[in-house]
Structure 1
Amino acid sequence: MRRIRDSKLQRPGALPGVGTLINQPAYAALVTQFGRGLVVGAIRDQVQAEREGGEVAGDDARRDRVEERLRSSSAPRLRRVINASGVILHTNLGRAPLSRAAIEALSTAAAYSNLELDLESGKRGERNDLIAPLLTSLFSSEAALAVNNNAAAVLLALTALCKGREVIVSRGQLVEIGGSFRMPDVMRLSGARMVEVGTTNRTHARDYEDAFTPRTAAVLRVHTSNYRVSGFTEAVPLAELARLAHGHGVLLIDDLGSGAIEAVADEPTIAESVPHSDVVTFSGDKLLGGPQAGIALGSTTVIRKLARHPLARAVRIDKLTLAALEATLRQRLTGHGADIPVQRMLDVKPAEIRRRAAMWSVKLDERGVPARLVESESAAGGGSLPGQGLPTVLLALAGPASRLANALRHGEPPVLARIEDRACCIDARTVLKGEDEALIDAIEGAFRAVTS
């Protein structure tokens, strides 16, 4: 009797065993492409799905579904996304997009490199020596150290300099950053004892003055870079904090968080902090516009203590991060900061954004996709410049907002839009150069998907 291969329904008991299927010729090509182990796992999952669903697929249909499972599971999890949200340092999208120079540096560093080799002498070198001169030149500090993020830089500073002793900090600066990561937790982990002074909204110089004891190791200032306290407030200026700390013979540690390179609104800049502080820390992947890193600036004596602490080894940066950071710093030093995507997005004028959005509107109209221009604001994001909106022009798409945003997010490439005033909106500020055509195609595809 002839076997029917593609019957849609069979008895559940007719399900073949995994061992039987894997040895069938139909699966040989999949084994060659994906490896026997992955194919066995995909077959097992498919058979289980058929058993639980009560519907048994035919041989060809089953093989196709196994291949779909394999291709889905083998696709890269980290995918390029077009950021049309208007949030420049979008934490969920990896914060700062790297410049072309930084990307090229990654390619160079991916091979063998002189990461810890002094090519002149042939002896072992220090990886930090590759970027420390750039950091000290750019920010006018005596010494510098790079670790893998700013939380690590703060933890290292507190551990190496303050373990077993007291650190004074204002209650208004006990911040929580993403992922429920709180400053008191960092302090506790460092082994230092946190001494809180003042109140949430007002802390005076006398509050610090009254807290000094023989066990005090440092005063910590934490910049509240991801929120603002306004109204009836009081904070001690950095210069006054430095006078108080140094007058009592203790250190001043300044955690700047996002690390403003240039004066923006009332954000404290790195250049303003360095002359007053013994240690200044900030992120590499925020306003600097580089890869994820934590930068510590300070005196030679203090930075040497950080670099020689065992924790420094655990939080050191790898060669790829170092290469991208070096390239970014060189762009800043040589006056090419405008080539860094984050800087370009911060500086772009609303008129230029409008021209770009208008061009997209015309192209979409030619494809039968209606859209209109709407004035709004972008955001720096990433815990930077809270409350400081950046004037922008949105491309508001016609159609069901949530469904359009969902279709864009599930497209290829994925596009992250935002919903504002019940419309799915595209903010040109954060769409990178060279992504225009892909974005237009993605918008058209999403529109067709939700309106057909």
Structure 2
Amino acid sequence: MTNAERLRHLPAVDQILRQHDVALISDAYSRPQLIAWIRMAVDECRREILRGAKLDKKSAMQCVIRGTLHQCQLEDGRRQTSVINATGILLHTNLGRAPLAARAIQRMVQSAGYANVEMDLRSGKRNHRGERIFDLLAQLTGAEDAVVVNNCAAATILVLQVMAAGKEVIVSRGQLVEIGGGFRLPEVFAASGAVLREVGTTNRTYLRDYEHAIGENTGAIIRVHRSNFFQGGFVTEPDIAELISLGKQRGVPVIDDLGSGCIKDLSKFGLKEPAVTDSVAAGADLALFSGDKLFGGPQAGIVVGKAKLVKLLRRHPMMRALRTDKMTLAAIEATAEIHLSGNPMQELPLLQMLSKTVADVRTDCKRVLERLPAAVANRIEICECTSSVGGGSVPGSQIASCGLVLNVENNDAVAKSFRTGSPAVVPRIHNDAIMLDLRTVDATQLDALAVRVEECLTPGQ
């Protein structure tokens, strides 16, 4: 039989749509999407025939069905859904960083329909977007005023445009970081219209370096959080208080790009991170940070500081492009309320995970094992490990934790099985073995995790 004859065995699109396995997924996907996948599968089957595959009508039909379902599986892997984070990375960037508090989620749901985004309900008149949120953030940080944009990179660009467009901004060479997605701080400076003025060396920058760099064209001094790396050993740089003192002496505003958004002292967890409140108290003209890191809220760029400068940010034409939506504002409002309530340790999932002791995590590990049949539990052992904050916060930090180490033959296959099931579970590889670090698994997820462990470790599943 020639290739031309075999090509006539390729099924029509309508035939595939009527097949049982394809019909089962037809309710979940649109007809145009299914047709596109079928045509891709037919094209691949055609290429196989031209490469010499001897397919009859039945095998050609099976080939196209397999290809269609494979495209569906690829789509499912990209579809956004909830996951159980068993990596031990608290602020996992690929998993959306900080999980929101129940109060923040509820406030977002309440705001999903019509909401008084720009209306005072008592007076019935229009008010400023986010007005109450800004008051809460100012109260929380001790600043005079606040403004919110869609992420911290946007906040940096906006602040530099307003404060130093066409002027020099002095920054330590050791703080010229590359942030997520390959974006580099010098590129952000360029996009803002500010001129980068590097001082010091990679590892050592002194106050005198800043002082000597100040000139007629100086627009601001900026301190930048290093985000995802730390320096140790033979290093030095002035603290924010010294920079602010210099700025006041020379009439130069000081910007503190804090990044991680630490509100409270975390030293009791063995973590050292500059706090927003300390920066404001020291007199920084503007301090900016992410909403979805140690603040424990949604993705946002939050700027707090002197009222006259925040007012300039709010009036800048770019604010319209950078402003946040009503859902984000609702979550920030609720998160700020939680911080101000005095009970963030009880309500914010991030701080709850941080506050777990190793004994707490070990107890959760035991609870999962107790829910498993003996044949599965015998292939798992509890092992001490370390978690990390992640998300560009507290770089280099390690938190003692505990996890479940799985005795399996094919780590990649089992890890994929965890990720592609329901609910999806994201494990990590530790010492060439799959580990489930339970520091980042909520107590309400333990039952579901046990079910998924049994599914992934039971032969034939």
Is the shorter-chain TM-score for this pair beyond 0.5, marking a shared fold? yes
CA distance in 2, matches of 1:259, 1:33: 40
3-state DSSP class of the match of 1:175?
coil
Moved more, 65-74 or 239-248: 65-74
Moved more, 135-144 or 405-414: 405-414
Contact 1:22/1:39, CA 8 A, preserved across alignment: no
CA distance in 1, matches of 2:79, 2:315: 37
Contact 1:50/1:57, CA 8 A, preserved across alignment: no
Residue 193 of structure 1: how far off its partner (Å): 0.6
3-state DSSP class of the match of 1:106?
helix
Deviations 1:165-217 (A, max 9, x none): 11100101111111111111111111011110011111111101100111111
3-state DSSP class of the match of 1:88?
coil
Amino acid of the structure 2 residue aligned with 1:238: I
Amino acid of the structure 2 residue aligned with 1:435: Q
CA 1:183–1:63 in structure 2 vs 1: closer, same or farther (change >3 Å)?
A: closer
Partner of residue 41 from structure 1, selected from 36, 41, 62: 36
Amino acid of the structure 2 residue aligned with 1:372: E
CA distance in 1, matches of 2:429, 2:48: 37
CA 1:34–1:170 in structure 2 vs 1: closer, same or farther (change >3 Å)?
A: closer
Unaligned runs of 5+ in 1: 1-9
Equivalent residue, structure 2, for 1:4: none
Equivalent residue, structure 2, for 1:181: 183
CA 1:418–1:35 in structure 2 vs 1: closer, same or farther (change >3 Å)?
A: closer
CA distance in 1, matches of 2:11, 2:179: 52
Residue 150 of structure 1: how far off its partner (Å): 0.7
Moved more, 418-427 or 186-195: 418-427
CA 1:352–1:193 in structure 2 vs 1: closer, same or farther (change >3 Å)?
A: same
Number of positions where the alignment pairs a residue of Structure 1 with one of Structure 2: 442
Q: CA RMSD in A?
A: 2.7
Residue 250 of structure 1: how far off its partner (Å): 1.3
3-state DSSP class of the match of 1:287?
coil
1:344 paired with 2:352, answer yes
Deviations 1:29-88 (A, max 9, x none): 988875543343233223323322333554985896587468557757102211101000
CA distance in 1, matches of 2:387, 2:94: 16
CA 1:352–1:39 in structure 2 vs 1: closer, same or farther (change >3 Å)?
A: closer
3-state DSSP class of the match of 1:391?
strand
Equivalent residue, structure 2, for 1:298: 305
Deviations 1:269-319 (A, max 9, x none): 111101220000001000011100110001110000001101111111111
Partner of residue 107 from structure 1, selected from 82, 89, 109: 109
Equivalent residue, structure 2, for 1:268: 274
Deviations 1:318-369 (A, max 9, x none): 1111111111111111123121110101111111111111222333353533
1:326 paired with 2:321, answer no
3-state DSSP class of the match of 1:255?
strand
Contact 1:38/1:70, CA 8 A, preserved across alignment: no
Equivalent residue, structure 2, for 1:444: 454
Partner of residue 50 from structure 1, selected from 45, 50, 73: 45
CA distance in 2, matches of 1:397, 1:63: 36
Amino acid of the structure 2 residue aligned with 1:373: I
Unaligned runs of 5+ in 2: 50-54
Partner of residue 93 from structure 1, selected from 88, 92, 95: 95
CA 1:62–1:120 in structure 2 vs 1: closer, same or farther (change >3 Å)?
A: same
Equivalent residue, structure 2, for 1:3: none
Moved more, 83-92 or 22-31: 22-31
Residue 25 of structure 1: how far off its partner (Å): 11
CA distance in 1, matches of 2:445, 2:23: 39
CA 1:77–1:279 in structure 2 vs 1: closer, same or farther (change >3 Å)?
A: same
